[in-house]
């Protein structure tokens, strides 16, 4: 029976290839896909997607890929999304909802207590993956041996830190004053902490100064903090910008006229209307969103280190392997994996335009169906962990262009 199901799935997915997996996402198509899976006799798989903010540009971008492309190419899959999660309690409530609705695997973007979350998933037979994230070494080690924790794909500690370094090196100039958005660094977000740390260390190096407080201490301040020393002035503003009280305060600071340059560890979309009216340079660690596309055009944005729409493709493939009975074959020495997948970087409108077409395409994806087919065991019987690793870590713009140029 398993061979018959596998054959049917291969047939359904192959037919999807012939129609191009075009990605025209509508409710009718989604319903039709699920009906086709049911009619074919395939076992359906429900996957939960825990998002910190369903309206965030990066999350919306990932959702477009999952709903508009993955669901067409994998008609046996459906997704259950959270609306938004503001803390650990919200995430645990969503995981409970997933368990109640027969979810087999969960994609978690923002974690608050990784060990608690993974233990809950294991207790309810749900696999968990962080498909675009960086956990601290301590958090990862606490769950790496749990068979229900698939792993995580993301920049990792070195790349997160280096991304803050590179943005600051590109943006910092003598005579500038800086407004640094550290976002969730003070609330345990390891990605934001590492990016902020990279910014602060680089400012010290470029200006040849030493702060009274260490970079490590400043990176996690929980209140706006201004530092003035030997020709260098900057303010660190903590807090998630999607929260209105934070975006209002951040906009007021940006409009104060005291700063020439913004270095942001997160999207600045929540204050884009304010920024458009200012003569201020802005670098952001974000994604290849439409907001940033127009930001380069109107002069609001000067630098983007960003993720792109299909970047979560390998994470989906890894979770799909797990829910289809192949979890053990995609572990690294019997443990959850950590795979490196960083950012594309644009320092000009021309660079952004060139990358944007591939980053947001619904028909020619940086990670397309054939890529994922090759690392899914039920579709490619000899696929193994090394294949998944090579695909996930072939994330650069040049890698993706090369893959598509040989299609």
Flag whether pLDDT at 28 surpasses 60: no
Is pLDDT of 27 > 70? no
Whether residue 25 is found in the same domain as residue 144: yes
**352 part of a folded domain:** no
Whether 33 and 137 map to the same domain: the answer is yes
User: Do 134 and 182 have their domain in common?
Assistant: no
Segment 5-19 shows an average pLDDT of 38
Residue 87's domain spans which residues? 2-154+309-342+363-388
Q: How confident is the model at residue 123 (pLDDT cuts 50, 70, 90)?
A: very high
171 located within any domain = yes
**243/149 same-domain check:** no
19 and 76 housed in the same domain: yes
Is the domain of 171 the same as that of 40? Answer: no
Q: Are the C-beta atoms of 266 and 285 separated by less than 8 Å?
A: yes
- Give the model's pLDDT for residue 266: 95
Residue 394 domain flag: no
Q: What's the number of domains the chain is made of?
A: 2
Average pLDDT on 319-323 reads: 98
Residue 401 lies in a domain: no
**Whether 101 contacts 46, CB under 8 Å:** yes
Q: Is residue 43 included in any domain, yes or no?
A: yes
pTM: 0.85
Do 162 and 192 share a domain, yes or no?
yes
**Same domain membership, residue 125 and residue 238:** no
Q: Is 166 exposed, middle or buried (0-12, 13-18, 19+ CB in 10 A)?
A: buried
- Verify that 107 and 39 share a domain, yes or no: yes
pLDDT category, 36, cuts 50, 70, 90? low
CA distance 106 to 81: 10
Specify whether 258 is located in the same domain as 132. no
Which of the pair, 316 or 21, is modelled with greater confidence? 316
Please indicate, yes or no, if residue 399 is contained in any of the structural domains.
Answer: no
Torsion of CA 54, 60, 62, 67, to 10 degrees: 90
Task: Provide the pLDDT for residue 349.
Answer: 95
Q: According to the model, what pLDDT value does residue 19 have?
A: 39
**DSSP 8-state class, residue 402:** H
Task: Using alpha carbons, select from 306, 279, 281 the residue that is nearest to residue 292.
Answer: 306
Mean pLDDT of the chain: 89
- 303 and 332 together in one domain: no
The CATH number linked to 250 is: 3.40.50.2300
Asked whether residue 357 is assigned to any structural domain, the reply reads no
Nearest 10 degrees: Cα torsion 222, 223, 226, 227: -30
Please indicate, yes or no, whether residues 335 and 296 belong to a single structural domain of this protein. no
Summarize pLDDT for 257-304 with one digit per residue, the tens: 999 999 999 999 999 999 999 999 999 999 999 999 999 999 999 999
Domain boundary (307, 323, 350) is at: 307
Average pLDDT in the 96-121 region?
Answer: 96
- Residue 190: CB atoms within 10 Å: 21
Structural domain contains residue 396: no
- Residues sharing a CB contact under 8 Å with residue 157, sequence separation 6 or more, in sequence order: 134, 136, 137, 190, 194
């Amino acid at each position: 029976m398993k061979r018959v199901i596998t054959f049917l799935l291969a047939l359904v997915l192959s037919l999807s290839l012939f129609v191009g997996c075009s990605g025209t996402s509508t409710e009718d198509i989604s319903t039709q896909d699920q009906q086709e899976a049911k009619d074919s006799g395939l076992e359906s798989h429900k996957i939960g997607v825990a998002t910190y903010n369903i309206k965030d540009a990066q999350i919306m971008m990932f959702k477009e890929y999952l709903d508009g492309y993955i669901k067409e190419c994998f008609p046996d899959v459906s997704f259950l999304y959270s609306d938004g999660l503001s803390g650990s309690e919200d995430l645990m409530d969503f995981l409970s909802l997933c368990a109640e609705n027969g979810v087999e695997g969960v994609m978690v973007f923002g974690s608050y207590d990784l060990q608690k979350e993974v233990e809950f998933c294991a207790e309810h037979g749900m696999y968990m993956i962080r498909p675009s994230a960086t956990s601290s070494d301590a958090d990862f080690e606490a769950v790496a041996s749990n068979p229900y924790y698939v792993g995580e794909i993301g920049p990792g500690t070195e790349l997160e830190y280096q991304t803050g370094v590179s943005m600051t090196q590109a943006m910092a100039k003598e005579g500038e004053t800086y407004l640094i958005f550290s976002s969730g660094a003070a609330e345990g977000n390891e990605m934001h902490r590492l990016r902020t740390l990279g910014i602060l260390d680089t400012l010290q190096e470029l200006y040849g100064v030493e702060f009274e407080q260490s970079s490590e201490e400043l990176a996690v301040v929980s209140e706006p903090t201004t530092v003035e020393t030997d020709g260098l002035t900057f303010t660190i503003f903590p807090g998630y910008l999607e929260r209105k009280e934070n975006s209002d305060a951040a906009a007021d600071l940006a409009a104060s006229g005291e700063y020439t340059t913004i270095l942001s560890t997160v999207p600045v979309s929540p204050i884009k209307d304010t920024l458009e009216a200012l003569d201020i340079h802005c670098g952001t660690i974000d994604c290849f969103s439409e907001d940033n596309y127009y930001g380069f055009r109107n002069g609001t944005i000067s630098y983007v280190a960003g993720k792109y729409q299909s970047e979560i493709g390998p994470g989906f493939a890894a979770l799909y392997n797990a829910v289809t009975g192949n979890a053990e074959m995609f572990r690294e020495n019997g443990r959850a994996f950590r795979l490196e997948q960083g950012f594309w970087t644009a320092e000009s409108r021309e660079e952004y335009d060139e990358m944007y077409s591939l980053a947001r395409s619904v028909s020619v994806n940086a990670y397309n169906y054939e890529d994922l087919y090759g690392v899914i065991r039920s579709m490619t019987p000899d696929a193994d962990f090394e294949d998944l690793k090579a695909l996930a870590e072939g994330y650069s713009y040049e890698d993706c262009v090369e893959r598509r140029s040989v299609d």
